Amino acid sequence: MFDKAQGAILTDEGGNDFIDFLAGAGSLNYGHNDPDMRDALVEYLGSGGITHGLDMHTQAKATFLNAFEKYILEPRKLDYVLQFTGPTGANSVEAALKLARKTTGRSNVISFTNGFHGVTLGALAVTGNEHHRGAAGVDMPGCSIMPYDGYLGQDVDSTEYLDRALGDPSSGVDLPAAVIVECVQGEGGLTAARIEWLQNLERVCRRHDVLLIVDDIQAGCGRTGTFFSFEPAGIKPDMVTLSKSLSGYGLPFAVTLISRALDIWKPGEHNGTFRGNNHAFVTATVAIEKFWKDDSFANTVKNKGDALLDGFKEIQKTYSDQVVELRGRGMMRGIVVSSGDLAGRIVAEAFKRGLVIETSGAHGEVVKCLASLTISEEELSSALEILNQAFAAAINTGASNLIAAE
């Protein structure tokens, strides 16, 4: 039973420390209980600041919007309006899908194999995972699934097929309102789309007058080394969904970034009681001003991402018979092993040794790292050593069980 947390460390009720390589499934990019965010929130609470304001303008909201515009949008030459949706990533996706359909007058949406966008019905319809789709209990029309980058092999550019299908009236693929994509697939196994593939995808969308939605809920807010995961590709999506680490403090908060030309909602047409969390506005503003005023923080994330990759390469070299490949980008990386059973054993062995980490992928075969971006070099080194030990223990246990069975 966990009791306290600070930075990259979780502490249980017995006083035992665990290095956190889960980070709230990517909602704690800046670690647990950042002191500057905490102090700003406590001060705001003590001042009697607005807690719940529906769509009313508040000082906390204005301050956040100004910071987001100044430090996130303007330096990247992005011109978006922000829609405050319900507080989860799925709410943000639902808003994007609805607006795309409203804007274009089309109903179909293209999504990709192994994509994950949420478990509410609209978001679930563009999610590939059988386990989550099976829980819906109803058919989910309105989506065509296309192969993600690398799904058919590294020599195949699946955007060429998408281009051909959208240009052929007999392909059986209805011209969509939008394409929704993750630049790095979080729940789908840490596959990172190549820069060229993302650029080609944008060109296909423009050629066929299809909107491009980037789901940056898990891969955004610095996780891949830049604030937005699509920045290295130089593309400009029509809409971007953000949540998870947007608040900086683990508070529920989601927005949909919308190109100004698409901002055609009628008042109250897509609403919800908890849209815009004023407490999250406070901590999000601190996160932006603390970490994103210049490139220094992004550079530290890239350096740590390189160190993480080097550590993973050592594990791959040591256990080459069981490690299939390494995936991801920046501080969003995974180790693909030979089976979901082995990955599960690795996670269990890591936990015994003080490392919290999870799996992802279609068969749970990817050991997935979402360490906090603020983790120290010493903590990162310790975590990699624990992970190495966990691999050894899990592989040896599997071999012993096989011998016993024989």
Same domain, 167 and 303: no
Whether 16 and 90 share a structural domain: no
What pLDDT, on the 0 to 100 scale, is given for residue 406?
56
The verdict on 17 and 153 lying in the same domain is no
Written as tens digits, the pLDDT of the chain (406 aa) is: 999 999 999 999 999 999 999 999 999 999 999 999 999 999 999 999 999 998 899 999 999 999 999 999 999 999 999 999 999 999 999 999 999 999 999 999 999 999 999 999 999 999 998 888 999 999 998 999 999 999 999 999 999 999 999 999 999 999 999 999 999 999 999 999 999 999 999 999 999 999 999 999 999 999 999 999 999 999 999 999 999 999 999 999 999 999 999 999 999 899 999 988 999 999 999 999 999 999 999 999 999 999 999 999 999 999 999 999 999 999 999 999 999 999 999 999 999 999 999 999 999 999 999 999 999 999 999 999 999 999 999 998 865 565 555 5
Do 154 and 201 lie in one domain? The reply is yes
Residue that is last in its domain, among 271, 291, 311 = 291
User: How many domains does the chain divide into?
Assistant: 2
Q: Are residues 53 and 188 in the same domain?
A: yes
Verify that 175 and 272 share a domain, yes or no.
Answer: yes
CATH number for position 395: 3.90.1150.10
Q: Which pLDDT score, from 0 to 100, does residue 397 have?
A: 80
CATH number at residue 54: 3.40.640.10
- Statement to judge: residues 8 and 114 lie in one domain: no
Domain limit, last residue, from 291, 321, 344:
291
* CA triple 386-392-393, angle to 5 deg: 85
User: Do 189 and 214 reside in the same domain of the chain?
Assistant: yes
Please tell me the predicted confidence (pLDDT) of residue 401. 62
Give the residue from 264, 291, 318 where a domain finishes.
Answer: 291
User: Is the same domain home to 381 and 278?
Assistant: no
Domain of residue 377, residue span: 2-33+295-405
Residue 132 — left, alpha, or beta (φ > 0 → left; ψ -120 to 50 → alpha)?
Answer: alpha
Shared domain for 343 and 359, answered yes or no, is yes
Tell me, yes or no, whether 379 and 269 share the same domain.
no
Spell out the residues 6+ positions from residue 166 whose beta carbon is closer than 8 angstroms to its own: 173, 175, 176, 204, 208, 210
Do both 134 and 278 map to the same domain? yes
Residue holding tokens 């080194």? Answer: 381
Q: What is the CA radius of gyration of the chain?
A: 21
| Structure-token pair, residue 379 | 């903590």
